[in-house]
């Protein structure tokens, strides 16, 4: 029997066999526009149908307050960004760190923090009513240390975990309270319609953890567990994103944070070898991604892309895998390689 995209995802999350391996889509805006043009697709629905993609439908309460009272040109966190252009597109990087010069917990608490009240929950309720029911629904996110680094500066943020733990706990506490309140209100309004939440923290570099396991266990995991527990109260599954060589913390993410899907599986990084992850964790977590976008998708041949997809389909248990790139596909990746990834998954991923 042919399943809907939502049914495929839920089968994987439940450890049941779907009709085929689900396939997700992560890409920059420039790549998406190129694919729409190259594949003659009028919109995202047409693109997903053309490539047999099962991407979740993302919903969220729109912000009613866009800026920050301390700086009219900053975002709601007081962070300014600047556009950086490169061949093929652009991205925004942090240009100023509003908490960077603060030295006391009192200064942190006095900062004008955003409120969960600054969102349009009526508009969100209207989004919920328009859901088709055919695609999985993702709602709510939590990636506080990324925001921490933007507000404090990455170097200072890392030093805080060792030298200024009280400041670290104060900032992370404010970030947690905001997201806990926002997510909780959305999930109550959605009333069982949400399937996934996005829980994340980039804990790995190309070679190992970005911070010590002791710091992760003290500053990161407790609030992740609190957020995941809230999601589970609403019947929501935990999708978890961490880049890089994060092998040393995967067990903690499963047992403490309670993650159910691990993304993106950068298998060329030490410790992230696919066979080892399957051996140690396949019975406890599903795997998402694992099509390399540092070499294979941008610089490999079509044949290499096909071979890597086939490797993933062979290595990962079919009821524990969602095929996807191992991060946003970048403009340097040729259209033919992207198409080869999805066409190979479609041809060989049927169960």
Q: How many helices (H) and strands (E) does the chain have?
A: 15, 9
222 to 159, 170, 226, 255: CA distances (angstroms): 20, 14, 6, 12
Residue-wise pLDDT tens digits, 212-260: 999 999 999 999 999 999 999 999 999 999 999 999 999 999 999 999 9
Class of residue 320 by CB neighbours under 10 A (exposed 0-12, middle 13-18, buried 19+): buried
313 to 125, 247, 268, 277, 326: CA distances (angstroms): 38, 21, 17, 14, 15
Residue-wise pLDDT tens digits, 312-334: 999 999 899 999 999 999 999 99
Domains of the chain: 5-348 (3.20.20.210)
- Indicate the pairing of strand 80-86 with strand 89-96: antiparallel
Give this prediction's pTM.
0.96
Q: Does 72 have pLDDT greater than 90?
A: no
Q: Is 291 helix (H, G, I), strand (E, B) or coil?
A: strand
CA within 13 Å, CB half, 90: 6
Q: Is residue 238 a contact partner of residue 198, using CB atoms and an 8 Å limit? A: no
């Amino acid at each position: 029997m042919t399943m809907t995209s939502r049914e495929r995802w839920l089968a994987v999350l439940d450890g049941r066999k779907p009709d085929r391996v689900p396939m997700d889509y992560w890409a920059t805006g420039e790549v998406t526009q190129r694919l729409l043009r190259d594949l003659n697709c009028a919109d995202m629905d047409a693109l997903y149908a053309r490539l047999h993609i099962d991407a979740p439908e993302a919903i969220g309460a729109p912000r009613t307050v866009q800026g920050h009272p301390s700086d009219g040109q900053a975002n709601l966190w007081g962070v300014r960004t600047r556009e950086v252009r490169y061949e093929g597109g652009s991205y925004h990087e942090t240009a100023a760190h509003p908490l960077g010069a603060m030295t006391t917990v009192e200064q942190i608490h006095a900062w004008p923090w955003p409120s969960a009240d600054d969102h349009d929950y009526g508009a969100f309720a209207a989004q919920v009513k328009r859901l088709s029911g055919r695609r999985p629904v993702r709602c709510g996110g939590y990636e506080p240390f990324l925001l921490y680094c933007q507000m404090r500066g990455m170097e200072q943020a890392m030093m805080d975990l060792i030298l200024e733990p009280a400041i670290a706990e104060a900032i992370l506490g404010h970030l947690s309270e905001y997201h806990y309140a926002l997510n909780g209100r959305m999930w109550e309004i959605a009333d069982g319609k949400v399937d996934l939440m996005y829980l994340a923290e980039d804990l790995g570099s190309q070679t190992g953890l970005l911070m010590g396991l002791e710091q992760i266990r003290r500053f990161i995991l407790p609030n992740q567990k609190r957020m995941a527990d809230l999601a589970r109260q609403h019947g929501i599954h935990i999708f978890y994103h961490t880049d890089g060589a994060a092998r040393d913390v995967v067990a903690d993410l499963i047992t403490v944070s309670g993650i159910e899907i691990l993304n993106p599986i950068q298998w060329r990084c030490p410790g992230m070898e696919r066979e080892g992850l399957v051996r140690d964790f396949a019975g406890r977590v599903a795997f998402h991604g694992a099509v390399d976008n540092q070499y294979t998708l941008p610089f490999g041949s079509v044949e290499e892309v096909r071979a890597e997809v086939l490797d993933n389909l062979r290595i990962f248990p079919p009821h524990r895998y969602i095929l996807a790139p191992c991060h946003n596909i970048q403009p340097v990746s040729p259209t033919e390689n992207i198409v080869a990834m999805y066409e190979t998954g479609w041809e060989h991923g049927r169960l």
